[in-house]
Amino acid sequence: LGLAKDPKVYQRMRISEVFHGRLAMLGIVGCVAPELFFSKGAWFDYSDYDLNRLGLIALQVIAPLEYWRGNGGFSWDGNDGPDRSYPGFDPLGLTNEETKLQEIKNGRLAMTAMLGLEVQSHITGKSPLTNLSEHLSHPLSANLLTGGGSLAMFSTAGQKTDRRPLWFPGGYAPSWLTGQHFGDRGFDPAGLAADPKVFERMRVSEVYHGRLAMLAIVGAVVPDIQGKGAWYEAAQSAGIGVNEVAVFTAAYGIAEVARGLKANSDPTSRYSGFDSLNLTTDYTKEAEIKNGRLALTAMLGLQVQRHVTGVSPLLNLVEHVKHPLVHTIAESVMHQWPVAMF
């Protein structure tokens, strides 16, 4: 993101990283040691004290000290005092370049580990050592993809299916996704489908948005094939303005309100569609939802592709086919967005 371009900002970020890395390393020890050596239980429930209260007390002590340090306290004025860009207490002069590098590396690792412990506690509800023991005992059944918790995609509460293909081979489906609906692969990252009413509304919305996305993909590619320009330039060349969009939105909104009212009074009409010849089958419904999801993903890809490369998808395809090792997604990102990691 180029945050370090400003030397003053860069110096402040370096100091903050060192401080937070040190706190994270202490935090990791404080999370693991009580459970490992003193059998105090998980880090998030072993304390007999109110952690929020302890945090407020610590904040009242640390905040004034940090304010004092930031304004030149501890002789950190950048002149006669210690190096302000690398804070620390080292009266014996033991710090060298190697220890500084090791500290920053281990600090970054500890910050990542602390984030992992927090996420792990919410997903599994168990301590890190318990999770480690279960994983070592059953590495294929106790892992990131099958750990217990409130997130449906990681849930072990559901029954493992025998024949239904799931979104991840060997995974588990939550109890509310039984496979009776088209396109059900046991994938529900946030547990949104646990409420039957919400699930029904989401199913209808997915069908509608999938159909719109399939039409949009055709509308985005066909004009480009005909030589009429990229899809994001079509509105300008076609003379579509704000008035046309407003009229279309109003008309579509009225139709959607009418459909919603009908669906509330007649639940059988929720799976929308015009099929006077009764051509719809289970196979076509399954195919529709799959292709709709693919089209939704493709539309997201077109939008990202436009912002990254600035050219049409067909031109990107032609360039990639000509030079597959040169024109790739990695090259496009590195060229357009000079993020530090690239």
Binding residues for chlorophyll b: 211, 245, 261
SS (H, E, C) the chain: CCHHHCHHHHHHHHHHHHHHHHHHHHHHHHHHHHHHHCCCCCCCCCCCCCHHHHHHHHHHHHHHHHHHHHCCHHHCCCCCCCCCCCCCCCCCCCCCHHHHHHHHHHHHHHHHHHHHHHHHHHHHCCCHHHHHHHHHHCCCCCCCCCCCCCCHHHCCCCCCCCCCCCCCCCCCCCCCCCCCCCCCCCCCCCCHHHCHHHHHHHHHHHHHHHHHHHHHHHHHHHHHHCCCCCHHHHHHHHCCCHHHHHHHHHHHHHHHHHHHHHHHHCHHHCCCCCCCCCCCCHHHHHHHHHHHHHHHHHHHHHHHHHHHHCCCHHHHHHHHHHCCCCCCHHHHHHHHCCCCCC
Query: Which positions make up the binding site for chlorophyll a?
Result: 206, 209, 288, 291, 293, 305, 320
Query: Which positions make up the binding site?
Result: 206, 209, 211, 245, 261, 288, 291, 293, 305, 320
> How large is the greatest C-alpha to C-alpha distance in the chain, in angstroms?
88
What distance in Å separates the CA atoms of residue 271 and residue 203, rounded to the nearest whole number?
8
